[in-house]
């Protein structure tokens, strides 16, 4: 089930974050994001267990998807794609039409998933990631945009 993240989810989110990322966020960072008006913060849950999360920051008609994470044992089950698609669906109700994200150049499974959803690779950020140093691939998705 995909649902809005709550304060009760924070400990599980931080545990996932620490298990997946080396440049991880703190509990306070996630709570601050949760409290911001222009964010969408969703979790994928199996019962009471958080198996993934995704975070979006919106500004006008654009949004940055800054976090997408799924527990290693729960990958390839559709959680990541469902989280991102729900960010887009809920973002659209807020007037967001342009979605951006960065993904490690070497993260082929994530890049393939984003492409299946409809994201396109539009650029590169050199040496964007640390530990290990690596480029980021910039990806973009547009929804419901009409030219005047």
Active site residues: 102, 114
Is residue 122 classed exposed, middle or buried when 0-12, 13-18 and 19+ CB atoms within 10 A define those classes? Answer: exposed
E-strand ranges in 5-47 read: 39-46
> Residue for token digits 């976090």?
67
Question: What backbone phi and psi angles, to 5 degrees, belong to 80?
Answer: -60, -50
Buried-exposed string 4-29: b where 16+ CB fall within 10 A, e elsewhere: ebeeebbebbbebbeeeeeeebeeee
Residue in the structure block whose two tokens are 């709550």: 6
106 vs 85: CA distance, rounded Å? 22
């Amino acid at each position: 089930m995909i649902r809005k993240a709550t304060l009760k989810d924070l400990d599980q989110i931080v545990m996932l974050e620490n298990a997946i990322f080396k440049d991880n966020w703190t509990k306070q960072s996630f709570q601050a994001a949760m409290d911001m008006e222009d964010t969408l913060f969703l979790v994928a849950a199996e019962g009471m267990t958080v198996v993934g999360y995704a975070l979006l920051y919106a500004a006008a008609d654009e949004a940055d998807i800054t976090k997408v994470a799924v527990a290693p044992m729960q990958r390839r089950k559709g959680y990541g794609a469902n989280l991102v698609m729900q960010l887009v669906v809920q973002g659209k109700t807020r007037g967001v039409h342009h979605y951006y994200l960065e993904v490690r150049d070497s993260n082929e499974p994530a890049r393939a998933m984003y492409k299946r959803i409809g994201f396109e690779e539009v650029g590169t950020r050199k040496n964007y990631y640390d530990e290990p140093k690596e480029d980021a691939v910039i990806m973009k998705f547009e929804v419901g945009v009409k030219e005047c």
